Structure 1
Amino acid sequence: MAEDKSPDPVDIHVGRRLRMRRKDLGYSQQALADALGLTFQQVQKYEGGANRISASKLHATAMFLKTPIGFFFEGLDDPEEADTTAAELANEMARFWQAPGGPELARAYVAIASSGMRKHLVDLARAIAEDE
């Protein structure tokens, strides 16, 4: 049985979004290729969906084009009833880590040996947050 060599529809969509953003900003395929350490032929293949863009290249592309990575996937179907809990938790943790004192508080919290004392600290933080 012959293997289907046609590009994946997601790769085609991502490539079209890449081409659209590149053109919106006025960059040539060569300028994008130079920024990513590629040949312009590789960029052509990305834009046509013939070659799949790796996660690292997509990240570098988004950085160069000053575009959120999600932009490349806009318009694609989302999974039904997608569980966003992990993403929401990751965003909360990022906000915590960026808050003044956040990293110090996290390090101090995990250094507390007593689970009872950790619970008291959580209860205290909740009480303070409710008063704010």
Structure 2
Amino acid sequence: MQKYEKGINRVGASRLQLIGNALQVPISYFFDDMPDDAGEASANPEARLHAEIRRFATSDEGIELFRVFIRIEDATVRKRALGVLKALAEGAE
């Protein structure tokens, strides 16, 4: 356990998903209130984007979206799916 706490060993995404399922918490639970890569709240737009991506990628919805999206083999279909998502996002604003 100490190796995981100190960061010597990393927990893979699939193992983290299993742990979250066992504890009945979303993956994002393990990342709440984490500092960004610089160790502090950054005004750097790129650092904020990376933190935002990290939060989404570890959420239940993000994981599900990634899993579903990568199963789409046809590039044209993937492009259309992105178009639909963009249209939905613009409609929500």
TM-score (normalizing by structure 2): 0.46
- Tell me: higher relative CO, structure 1 or 2? Use CA pairs within 8 A at least 6 residues apart: 1
- Which protein is bigger by CA-based radius of gyration? 1
TM-score (normalizing by structure 1): 0.34
